[in-house]
Amino acid sequence: MPRPTLLISATLLGAVSFYLVGLATGAVTLVGYERGNAVSRGLFVESSGLLSRFTMPPVYVPAGRALRADYTVDAKVGSLWVVIMQPFWSKVRATAYVAGERSGSIVFVAETAGWYEFYVDPTPVFGHRCHTPGADMVDILTGRDGCPRYDVRYTVSWHLADGAETGPRHVTVPIAGPDRQPPSARIGP
């Protein structure tokens, strides 16, 4: 193996090891980051700028511990859908919709220990709308009425957290156990 390749491999292995030890000991809490800018006009989605996404594979969260989503959202139309789900069974366990222009934190507290994955997605559900009252579904779906289904700019960073976190800009949402209906929060106008 050539020397530069060996050096790069050793550096990457060291960085990954340091990160995993940091997660295990609590010294590092960042487990994901997403940033995007999306506008949907009918069936087409326009994105400007780079979509940045870094997420861990599914994360193990003990009972009583939490995943915290620190967000900055500017949703002119629609909202940002924040989702916690079980990866292997694809069951949604908790959601939140964030609309308007705001920043804060959503603390998803696990009722039962398990593996969870998380993501965000712009959506026309909740938040402001701009369709004219006479617009029919064909106009809305094709974007002929000139109004976007959603127009959302967002930055979300995911952290492992203590389940007891509180604060003026925190919203706490439980991650439902296997036999419960998934809770949902709506933040915004």
CA atoms within 13 A on the CB side of 41: 7
pLDDT of residue 170: 79
Residue with tokens 């629609």: 78
Q: What is the pLDDT along the chain (189 residues), one digit of tens a residue?
A: 566 677 777 666 665 565 555 555 555 567 788 888 877 765 555 666 556 777 777 888 888 888 899 999 998 888 898 988 888 776 888 899 998 899 999 999 988 888 888 888 888 777 666 655 666 666 656 555 556 677 888 999 998 888 776 666 778 888 887 778 888 888 887
* φ, ψ at 138 (rounded to 5°): -65, -45
Instruction: Please check whether residue 34 is in contact with residue 53, taking contact to mean a CB–CB distance below 8 angstroms.
Output: yes
